[in-house]
Amino acid sequence: MRRVVVTGLGVVSPVGLTTDETWTNLLAGVSGAGPITKFDASNQQVRFACEVKGFDPLVYIDRKEARRFDLYAQYAIAASHQAVTQAGLDLGAPDMNRVGVVLGSGIGGMQTFEDNCRIFIEKGPDRVSPFFVPMFIANMAPGLVSMRYGMRGPNFATVSACASSAHAIGEGYRMIRDGIADAMVTGGSEAAITGLTVAAFANMKAMSTRNDDPQAASRPFDVDRDGFVLGDGGAAVVLESLEHAEARGATIIGEVMGYGLSGDAYHMSAPAPEGEGAQRAMRMCLGDNGIDPARVGYINAHGTSTPLGDIAETQAVKAVFGEHARNLVFGSTKSMTGHLLGGAGALEFVVALLAARTGDIPPTINNVRPDPECDLDCAPNVRVKRDVDIAMSNGFGFGGHNATLAVRAT
C-alpha cells in the first residue's frame, strides 16, 4: 500500500473565497452567518444562513459556462482550480489516465431543480431547460473538473448527505493507496441555500431559529443550541502517491493517515445512541495505519449544533479515546461556517490539516454556556496553540453515514 500525500488545497466558504482567507477568518472567530440575500426569505421560519459572499464565477469559467453550471458545480470548479494550481498538477502529471476526480455533494443542483420545477408548473413542459439534467445531477461536478484538466482516471461522485465530501476524500485516498490512480482531485461542494431547502429543514426542526441574532445561532456544545445553520461553499484537495509527488517535485503539504467509515443502521436523521456508528468509523480510521490514539491532538468535530448530535459525538470521542479525550481539542468550525452539508467534510479536512501544520486551532465560537454532557475542550471562543501530531475530522450524514479522516503535516 502506497503512502498518500496532499499537494494542493482549495476553499470557497462563507468566511472566505480562498484557503488563506478562510483560515485567517476562522482563527479570528469570524462568523459567516447573516440574513439570507439569495431569495426573499420574509415568509420563512428561518431567514438567515451562512452564504458565500462576493463569489464571481467568471474568475474560473466563462459566461456561457456560468449559465449552464449550477452554483454547486461552480464552487467545486473554483475550489478544484485553487487546489490544482497550488499543486501544479495540470502541468506536472505525466499520465492523465491515472489522475482522477471524486467530488461529493449531498444534493447537487438544488436551485436548478427548484427553478425548473417552477417553470414546469407555471409554463409547461416545453419550457423546461434542456440543461436541467446535467445542471442538477450531483456527479456533474467531478465530470466538469475532469474535462477542464483532461483527467481521465477514476471519476465519480459520492452522495452520502453530510458525509459526502469526507467519503470523497477517503475514496480518493484509497484509489491512490491501492494503486488504481497516482493522483486524485477530491472534496465536495453544496449550494443548498434555496427557498425549498430552508423550508424543508425548518419544518424538520433541524435548524436554529435565531433570526434576531444569526451570528450567535450556530453554537455547538452550548446548552442553548437549537439546531444547525445552513451554509454554502466547497473545498478540494489534491492527493498523490508519495512517489508521484516526489517524482514531479511537488511541494508536500501533509499526509493522509487514515480513513474510517460505517453505517448506523438506526434512524433516518438521529445518530445512533452514544454515537456507536461514529465510534466504529473513528476506530477504523485509527486502525488504518495503526495510529496510537495518543498522537491525535485535534478533532474537527462534525459538531452541527443540534441537541442530539453534539452529545452523541462527544460520547463517541470519549469511548474511542478514553482518558486522552481530555487532552485533545475537539472543536467545531461549523460555529463560524455553518453546515455546508455535502461540502462540510472537505472543508473540515482542510481545517484539520492546517491545524496540524500550524499548531493553531480555530475556536468554537458562541460557546457561552457549555453543555455538561459536551464537556471536552472545544477551544471555546478563542483560538488555541497546540502541537498537533495528527488531526482528525468527522463527517456524519442523515441516513446513518459516518466517515472519519486522519491527516498529519509534513
User: Which residues lie closer than 8 Å to 403 by C-beta, 6 or more apart?
Assistant: 160, 163, 166, 167, 170, 259, 260, 261, 281, 345, 394, 395, 396
Q: Nearest 5 degrees, angle CA 163-CA 168-CA 170?
A: 95
- List b or e across 214-249, with b for residues whose CB sees 16 or more CB atoms inside 10 angstroms: bbbbbbbbbeebbbbbbbbbbbbbbbbbbebbeebe
> Catalytic residue numbers?
162, 302, 339
Among 6, 51, 3, residue whose Cα is nearest residue 236: 6
CA 290, 291, 293, 298 torsion: positive or negative?
Answer: negative
Query: Do 61 and 78 meet the contact criterion of CB atoms below 8 Å apart?
Result: no
User: Which residues lie closer than 8 Å to 368 by C-beta, 6 or more apart?
Assistant: 219, 222, 224, 381
Cα distance between residue 109 and residue 129, in whole Å: 13
All 3 cell numbers of residue 65?
459556462
Cα distance between residue 12 and residue 30, in whole Å: 15
